[in-house]
Structure 1
Amino acid sequence: MIGKLKLLGIIAVLAISTAANATIVTVYNDFDGGLTNFNNTVTAAGGTATHDTWSTQLSGTSSNQGDYTVTMNDGSAISSYIYTLWSSSPSRTTSGYVVDIDPAGSGPGIGAIGSGVTLTFDSAVNAIGFEVGDWATCCQPSNIYISFDDAAPILVGASTVFGDGFLTNGGAGVFVAAFDDSGDFTKVQFWGDGFGEVLNMGGTIHYALLEQGSLPPSGVPAPAPLALMAIGLLGLTWRGRKAS
């Protein structure tokens, strides 16, 4: 009986520990709505967001932003500017400077990563968000991706027809974000694969470190079926011992 109880106890612990499965969450919205979504997600998960506006032009092959460093994936010099959203009415600019990352490469998806940008953080993060400009203006299909620590790309935006990503004041600008509470990361990459289009990212970089398993925002997932079964069996076994 003791052996059975011990085994059931191990099952219950394992089941409960896996109840809080790792979650990936993305945000794809206009500049204002996207930032609100990002902040609400971080807050609901018990985290604190940091917001770093690129108020001065980035340059060189590496730009130190204090908590993190910005580099181009192909090692080239950074080209940055304030972007006025194409077709926006009323006119809207990005909240700060952006980095030019026109898509290029050997193929869609991961094949275009070389034309992207890397943010290397001094301390771990697992939530990141920023503005994207000149999105959905041509060259569909066109996808944009975020990757943490060289893991599988997370699709954060997909444009299939001209203008379907004109979300901010009717212009070519979106806010994207990705959250991955499976771990803590120091490397974030962003790129697009709409070959032939103009693409940029930045404005203000929003980031946070959330506790592992804190997503979805409730942070208190329901017990997994295995956990419920194991707990029930433990209760029945204990009841049987008392009756004997």
Structure 2
Amino acid sequence: MKTKLFAAALLLAASSAQATIATVFEGIPTGSAKFNTTVINAGGTVKTDVWTNLMSGTVIDRGDYSISRTNGNWMSVGGYGTMSGNTIDISPNDPSRDTLGSKISGITFTFDNPINSFGFEVGDWATCCHNPTTDLFISFDNGAPILVASATTEADGQFKNKFGNLVHEIFVAAFDDSGSFSKVQFWGNGYGEYLVAGGQVKYALIDEGSLPPTPGVPAPASAALLGLGLLALRLRKRA
């Protein structure tokens, strides 16, 4: 019986993997490149969709995925500055500033095949409404909101574009190698500010546990193995 218990415990440890959540918050050229590097280093393949010829509506089909407003409302398509492609207006319209409340103002991406790495461009963010901060969030499959950007001043949202000019155009991304997901939601909580998202969308599926561990957070597998080592010693003493 003790042998079976020990073997089962070892199997549990072997199946445990380091789960890492990582984010990107940069200017578009730098952020896009960082997304590519992160995915490639984790053994994945980057897919890039530049938003061209988008038509306004309630649902936009992009082949691998579809886009909709989280609250089901009409999506207004346009363009912004030097962003890579079309954008969708997702200006926060919920005055509560609660992340779950403002979430309905954002957009939802529904994928045909699972992903766990997702990034895109955002425009006109952080030009106002720092109360005390204006924040951007990504959530995988209705999971806990991942904070991908936060600004307390207008300067926090300014980065250099491809021409070297300071603009309010950024690239944000989130990675979660704990599993794979079919839905991604994005929103901001800066009530009163103008906010657009789109330009280019990047996505990928990387292997579970393939990202570097988060500094200061012990790997679950390592912690499990340490506990099982102690359990093994106790079982041997009792044998």
**TM-score (ref. length: structure 2):** 0.86
Tell whether 2:41 aligns with 1:44: yes
Aligned partner of residue 163 in structure 1, secondary structure: helix
Q: Mind listing any 5+ residue stretches in structure 2 that lack a counterpart?
A: 214-218
Deviates more, 1:36-45 or 1:8-17: 8-17
Q: 1:227 aligns with which of 215, 225, 228?
A: 225
Q: 1:55 aligns with which of 45, 52, 56?
A: 52
Deviation >4 Å, runs of 4+: 231-238
**TM-score (ref. length: structure 1):** 0.84
Who is 1:90 aligned against?
A: none
Who is 1:209 aligned against?
A: 205
Aligned partner of residue 185 in structure 2, secondary structure: strand
1:8 Cα deviation after fit: 2.4
Q: 2:194 aligns with which of 191, 198, 215?
A: 198
Conservation of the 8 A alpha-carbon contact between 1:16 and 1:224: no
1:59 Cα deviation after fit: 1.2
Tell whether 2:103 aligns with 1:99: no
Distance 1:197 1:209, change over 3 A: same
C-alpha distance in structure 2 between counterparts of 1:224 and 1:112, whole Å = 38
The alignment yields a C-alpha RMSD, in angstroms, of 2.4
Tell whether 2:7 aligns with 1:9: yes
| Correspondences of 1:160-179 after superposition (within 5 Å) | 160-168=152-160, 169-179=165-175
Tell whether 2:8 aligns with 1:34: no
Who is 1:120 aligned against?
A: 110
Q: Mind listing any 5+ residue stretches in structure 1 that lack a counterpart?
A: 85-92
Conservation of the 8 A alpha-carbon contact between 2:18 and 2:220: no
Count matched residues.
226
C-alpha distance in structure 2 between counterparts of 1:198 and 1:67, whole Å = 28
C-alpha distance in structure 2 between counterparts of 1:225 and 1:184, whole Å = 23
Which one-letter code corresponds to 1:31 in the other structure? I
- Of structures 1 and 2, the larger Rg is shown by 1
Aligned partner of residue 216 in structure 1, secondary structure: coil
Conservation of the 8 A alpha-carbon contact between 1:12 and 1:231: no
C-alpha distance in structure 2 between counterparts of 1:121 and 1:226, whole Å = 34
C-alpha distance in structure 2 between counterparts of 1:58 and 1:70, whole Å = 11
- For residues 106-127 of structure 1, the C-alpha deviation after alignment (integer angstroms, 9 at most, x for no partner) is 5221110111111111111111
C-alpha distance in structure 1 between counterparts of 2:101 and 2:227, whole Å = 45
Deviates more, 1:9-18 or 1:57-66: 9-18
